[in-house]
Structure 1
Amino acid sequence: MAPNIPGGLLTTAMAVMPHTDVERALEIALSLDVPFWPQLPNYSYYEDMYVQAAEHFPGIVLDIEKRTLRFSIDKFAEELEETLLRFDDPTLFDVSKTYSAVYHRFLALDHSDRPAIRGQLEGPISFGFNVIDQDERPIIFDDTVRPFMLEFMAKRINVQLARLKQLNANAFMFVDEPGLQFLFSAMAGYGDLKAKGDLDQFFSQVDRPRGIHLCGNPDWDFLLNLDLDVLSLDVYTNAEVFASYATAIKKFLEKDGVIVWGIVPTGFETFQKEDMHSMIERLENVWRVLWSKGIDKEQMIAKSLISPATCCLVNPDKERTVERAFGAVNEMAARLRDRYIA
């Protein structure tokens, strides 16, 4: 799979941050072993992860003032041909300065001494569920729009990854897919078999290394059996459930997959309840279960990164708890490396 994604209990994080100070957000992102460019929706609605993914997508109706993102099939029909004429133009698929205050600053830095760097984009399933058309239907149900959307988002990821790889050969991408947990509810109306086919098609168009990040609780068998190089999850919340999927986790690790263990909570109240000992204990409890079920300890440690559990935009102390959580991630990873890596 992708041996160039580092493991060894180094640190990274998901990209959505509560900051309105652009330089400070970048400084905090760079404090981790595997840095990324932050997404700052509190700074601008352009930085909302769905809005960022929607840049140049035909048919999008964006109202920055009202903070709404919609879709019009008539506008899609009008704009599609012109979009297709530009399908070989990387600038169509990259993130512009308008849509990210940080991305281009991140690209201007020297990351050559880092073990890796990371980018991200909202995934097609979540984007398709979240963006609503003129009939109040998610565009994922539109058989004309959906195949185009899969190809468009794959190109967006590939263009960003190519830019990041110019700065660091070990660059990789998170495809953020919070919507995956809804696939398995009766309400979704877009079943897991359809999604599996679409995601297989999508990832066949996405350059390696690539992976999925989500904070929810999907069908882990489904996710671990996709052709991914890295899986980033909230193990703080989903510890017991995830630990019960040892067979699929073992197979994923044996294919050289990397797991990003999101263990440090970023919510104000939850973070207050924990200390370093309790968080390490929570993570090690999951690990011990997996080791007892035949997962190779050294192999797993070699293929593990440590991160915060989730993003958080709504803390009463704004960015302070999130910054403390990033610090705790670094401290925890250092302690775990002392314990498990000779």
Structure 2
Amino acid sequence: MKASFYPDRRAALIGSLPMTDHAAATQLVFEHAPDIPLWVQLPAYPAEGMLAQFLPGFPGVSEQNGKLFINTQDPAFHDDVLGFYEAYLAAEQDPSVLDGSVFALDTTVAAGFFEFLNQAGPVADRLFAVKGQITGPFTFATGVTDDQGRALFYDDQLRDVAVKLIAAKARWQARRLAALGRPVIIFFDEPALTAFGSSAYISISRADVTACFEEVFAAVHAEGALAGVHVCANAEWDLILDSSADIVSFDSYSFFDKFVLYADHIRRFIDREGLLAWGIVPTGDKEAIGKETVASLVALWHEQVARVEKLGIDRTTIERLSLITPSCGTGSLDMDSALRVLELNAGVSKALRAGQ
């Protein structure tokens, strides 16, 4: 991790917007998060769905009745798996071959990525950092199923392929974004972690989840980038705080009371200069989006920081290691609500950095 990376309450965003124009969406990002912009995902396009967007390159991808799955019965499947590992090992030995490999995103699934590069290039010298994102390995491997309807995570080989696919695609992103000459952040989006530890995933061990995380974080770190984990609800936060993640992104608006219970883990995380991305702007409740103001959210943030201070952490340290973000993406909101989220987030960051 880059010990000198101190965002000091700068604004960042979580990937999605409810739009259909990638250029216009990217312009909105630069307007509302000019220091740490990111490439956008537009869920209006099915190919940019959380699972579908990063599935290309996985052996045996098939579709039936509009649902994507991994067909392990395809006669070519085992040869395709062998080819996948050969491509992965080649990229491990020489990361420059990631471009042009099955691990590279293209405009059919990530037009926002390439639009971001176009718009960021001319202003790169003014940016503090750039941000990318990808579906996390746990969410990906529990969300995609095989031909029997079984989640990939429950098959050792399919899980391994899934994790390596996510790791290599994250590394490809980090390499391409690094060409802008600014620090790079890659978030792993992990909504499924909210159910880890419940009966839904009772047979999945903590050790297996941790191993998945460490593999994808290592891929990002190999490119000198920062690895973050974003969870938009509650989770077993020690799993992330005790990992090698550089950033923990959490919904502080709705779940701060749960997060702050992990006092020892938070202290250790901050001691190693881990960053907190405070999801202080609500995104899940249209009424809350409408009623909150910059002033009310600034007050809420100060109240929450005071509680973290009581854990024995210096306020100045908390401030310099903090990002200000929405609690989640805005892709499922109406456009007016999404715009208000962006405006509130930018306003809160500006107010806090001005000493309010």
Q: If the TM-score is normalised by the length of the shorter chain, which range does it land in?
A: over 0.9
Deviation for aligned residue 1:187: 2.2
Same amino acid, percent of matched pairs? 26
Structure 1 letter corresponding to 2:266: I
Deviation for aligned residue 1:14: 0.7
SS in 1 for 2:62: strand
Aligned to 2:282: 265
Residue 117 of structure 1 pairs with residue 130 of structure 2: yes
Residue 232 of structure 1 pairs with residue 249 of structure 2: yes
Question: Take 2:213 and 2:86, find their aligned partners in 1: how far apart are those partners?
Answer: 25
List per-residue Cα deviations over 1:13-63 (Å, max 9, x = no partner): 110211112222111111202000000011x11111211111211122246
Deviation for aligned residue 1:186: 2.4
Distance change (3 Å), C-alpha of 1:158 and 1:184? same
Distance change (3 Å), C-alpha of 1:62 and 1:2? farther
Deviation for aligned residue 1:67: 4.4
Deviation for aligned residue 1:4: 4.9
RMSD: 1.8
Tell me if structure 2 keeps the 8 A contact 1:22–1:102: yes
**Which is further off, 284-293 or 155-164?**
284-293
Match of 1:165 among 175, 178, 192: 178
Question: Take 1:313 and 1:332, find their aligned partners in 2: how far apart are those partners?
Answer: 21
SS in 1 for 2:28: helix
Aligned to 1:61: 62
Aligned to 1:73: 72
**Which is further off, 268-277 or 218-227?**
268-277
Aligned to 2:355: 339
SS in 1 for 2:196: helix
Distance change (3 Å), C-alpha of 1:279 and 1:18? same
Question: Take 2:260 and 2:327, find their aligned partners in 1: how far apart are those partners?
Answer: 16
Residue 19 of structure 1 pairs with residue 37 of structure 2: no
Aligned to 2:3: 3
SS in 2 for 1:278: helix
SS in 2 for 1:69: strand
Specify every segment of 5 or more residues in structure 2 that has no aligned partner in the other structure, as ranges. Answer: 92-96
Deviation for aligned residue 1:288: 0.7
Question: Take 2:278 and 2:318, find their aligned partners in 1: how far apart are those partners?
Answer: 11
1:91-170 correspondence to structure 2 within 5 Å: 91=100, 92-109=102-119, 110=121, 111-170=124-183
Specify every segment of 5 or more residues in structure 1 that has no aligned partner in the other structure, as ranges. Answer: none
SS in 2 for 1:323: helix
Aligned to 1:277: 295
Tell me if structure 1 keeps the 8 A contact 2:267–2:311: no
Tell me if structure 1 keeps the 8 A contact 2:186–2:228: yes
Aligned to 1:314: 332
Tell me if structure 2 keeps the 8 A contact 1:154–1:202: yes
SS in 2 for 1:108: helix
Deviation for aligned residue 1:281: 2.2
Question: Take 1:304 and 1:202, find their aligned partners in 2: how far apart are those partners?
Answer: 23
Tell me if structure 2 keeps the 8 A contact 1:118–1:173: yes
1:155-234 correspondence to structure 2 within 5 Å: 155-188=168-201, 189-207=203-221, 208-234=225-251
Tell me if structure 2 keeps the 8 A contact 1:215–1:233: yes
Tell me if structure 1 keeps the 8 A contact 2:278–2:322: yes
**Which is further off, 3-12 or 127-136?**
3-12
Aligned to 1:29: 29
SS in 1 for 2:17: coil
Question: Take 2:13 and 2:290, find their aligned partners in 1: how far apart are those partners?
Answer: 20
SS in 2 for 1:172: strand
SS in 2 for 1:187: helix
SS in 2 for 1:149: helix
Distance change (3 Å), C-alpha of 1:97 and 1:62? farther
Aligned to 1:48: 49
Deviation for aligned residue 1:95: 1.0
List per-residue Cα deviations over 1:51-90 (Å, max 9, x = no partner): 1111211122246xx6422121124424223333433331
Tell me if structure 2 keeps the 8 A contact 1:117–1:168: no
Q: When the two structures are aligned, how many residues end up with a matched partner?
A: 335
Tell me if structure 2 keeps the 8 A contact 1:107–1:164: yes
TM-score with structure 1 setting the length: 0.92
